[in-house]
Amino acid sequence: MNTNIIETLNQYEATGMRSQPDIIWTKANDCIITDDNDKEYIDFSSGVMITNSGHNNQKIKDAIMKQLDSGIFTTYMFPNSAKADLLKSLSKVIPQSHKVALYSTGTEVTEAALKITQLWGKKNKPNSKNLIISYVNSFHGRTLGAQLAGGVPSLADWIPKELSHKFIHHVPFPDGIYSNVSEFNSFTHTLDTNNIEYNDISAVIIECYQGGVGSFVPSAYMNDLVQWCKNNNIILIVDEIQSGCGRTGKFWAYEHYGIQPDIILAGKGISSSLPLSALIAREDIINLCDIGTLNTTHSGNAVCCAAANANLEFIESNRLVENAFNMGQILSTELNKISQKFTDKIRAFYSKGLIACIHVGNQETKKSNNILAKKIVNECLKNGLMLYYPGGPDGATIKIAPPLTINKELLINGCDIIMKVLEQV
Ligand SMILES: Cc1ncc(COP(=O)(O)O)c(C=O)c1O
């Protein structure tokens, strides 16, 4: 390992920017990452669900190079073809009634969503407190509004309490493992117990696939939530920053429920590469912002737009959503084998398409084991499988998310490494 790089980072970088093992990524190609010792890893991380079309994707690389060759690296708000092309491609996969604002990071689109729902509430529910309902254990980014919306109290304990209780409230997420709720009446029950009037709510923000815990909202719950939002004139925001762009075996995870959210938040896998995110919202909501009041300096950077447009074309022409679905069936079968074999090490697993997680712990006692989880990740890394450190409420959840380009052989090889490591730890 090149200790110089690690030492330099230790010396100059803020602690809060580091959380992963000291493995220096030097090269990456499709589903393989190489470190500075030329050791290769099968990638089960996609760099935190970014590289849906694989690392170093040639089509994306060509599009980036072409944009760079034009000399237009940045345009601020001036019109450019890279942005127009991306918006046209995106229009094929979003509801016709929606318009788009492009940004760089996920947390920015969460902030923008909070802003437009407040504007909508002020106009459409003038006597309402315009509260937002979010979920326990949810994650929507690290800036102020996004962290208020997130449901992990330890991540938001830097925020003054008076602010945190002002306009965002959290209800239990039906995750099937950490919470004891599964039906929608838990949602209204929590509101009623906390004396929250339905008319005081302007929006609900939810991850259909809650990344922190790694599980999906049950269908009946989701359908009841959608109906309840309609009945009470409340906006439904679906955060697809992690689950979107083919990851779950549908283009958007919400498609598993046959619903149409009012607002969709997208990021990460939308470009498979450079920083690009999108706020996708009903026109009557998003256009409540006056000209020039929704943008940031780097929103929808032209080079990032070119990358994202090539990525969407690649996902479509290579049928990656279908591949995610098919490979997901194999991944689920392999994880089922692993969970049946190691009942004292794997508490539960969840998977849909190419997003999965294993909760390390004991199936009988239902206890999590975060020390073992970290050990498993470290051993997998030694054996050539790229994973990132466990997370989740107990720090015992290992996420599995290979690029959507992965084939059966590599997928099974990766699962075999997990199996082998579990036999040894
Ligand atoms: C569901 C979800 N929402 C929002 C975010 C924030 O995105 P970013 O890190 O790009 O700000 C993330 C990032 O992990 C996420 O997983």
Average pLDDT rounded to a whole number, residues 382-395: 96
- Helix-helix angle 320-341:302-317, to 10 degrees: 80
The CB density around residue 136, as the number of other CB atoms within 10 Å, is: 21
Judge if pTM exceeds 0.95.
yes
pLDDT digits (tens, 9 = 90+) for 329-364: 999 999 999 999 999 999 999 999 999 999 999 999
Distance between CA atoms of 330 and 376, rounded to whole angstroms?
21
Answer yes or no: is pLDDT of 161 > 90.
no
Q: Are 254 and 241 in contact, with CB atoms under 8 Å apart?
A: no
Which of 135, 155, 268, 389 has the most ligand 1 atoms within 8 A of CB, as the residue to mutate? 268
Closest Cα to atom 13 of ligand 1: 141
Question: Separation of 296 CA from ligand 1 center, angstroms?
Answer: 18
Ligand 1: atom nearest CA of 105 is: 10
Sign, CA torsion 12/16/22/26:
negative
Closest Cα to atom 8 of ligand 1: 106
User: What is the CB < 6 Å shell around ligand 1?
Assistant: 105-107, 110, 139-141, 207, 211, 239, 241-242, 267
Question: Separation of 106 CA from ligand 1 center, angstroms?
Answer: 5
pLDDT digits (tens, 9 = 90+) for 231-253: 999 999 999 999 999 999 999 99
- Report the percentage of the chain scoring pLDDT > 70: 100
**Can you read off the two tokens belonging to residue 28?**
């990456």
Answer yes or no: is pLDDT of 1 > 90.
no
Distance between CA atoms of 346 and 353, rounded to whole angstroms?
20
| Residue-level pLDDT at 166 | 79
Question: Separation of 138 CA from ligand 1 center, angstroms?
Answer: 10
**Can you read off the two tokens belonging to residue 364?**
């009988």
In the numeric block, the tokens 């508490």 are attached to 347
Ligand 1: atom nearest CA of 141 is: 6
The continuous run of DSSP H or E covering 347 comes out as: strand 346-352
Average pLDDT rounded to a whole number, residues 263-279: 98
Distance between CA atoms of 399 and 212, rounded to whole angstroms?
9
347 φ/ψ angles, rounded to the nearest 5 degrees: -75, -40
Per CATH, the number for 3-53+319-424 is: 3.90.1150.10
pLDDT digits (tens, 9 = 90+) for 308-333: 999 999 999 999 999 999 999 999 99
Q: 281 — alpha (psi -120 to 50), left (phi > 0) or beta?
A: beta
Mean pLDDT of the chain: 96
CATH number for 59-317: choose from 3.40.640.10, 3.60.40.10, 3.20.20.10, 3.30.470.20.
3.40.640.10
Closest Cα to atom 3 of ligand 1: 140
Q: Are 264 and 280 in contact, with CB atoms under 8 Å apart?
A: yes
**Can you read off the two tokens belonging to residue 129?**
């407190």
DSSP three-state, residue 27: strand
Half-sphere exposure of 75 (CA within 13 A, CB side): 19
Domains 3-53+319-424 and 59-317 share a fold: no
Domain boundaries, the chain: 3-53+319-424, 59-317
For 36, 122, 143, 203, 239, the CA distances from 288, given in Å and listed in that order, are 50, 10, 23, 15, 20
Question: Separation of 233 CA from ligand 1 center, angstroms?
Answer: 27
Question: Separation of 141 CA from ligand 1 center, angstroms?
Answer: 5
pLDDT digits (tens, 9 = 90+) for 180-222: 999 999 999 999 999 999 999 999 999 999 998 899 999 999 9
Question: Separation of 330 CA from ligand 1 center, angstroms?
Answer: 27
Question: Separation of 397 CA from ligand 1 center, angstroms?
Answer: 17
Which residue in 309, 283, 238, 256 sits closest to 67, CA to CA? 309
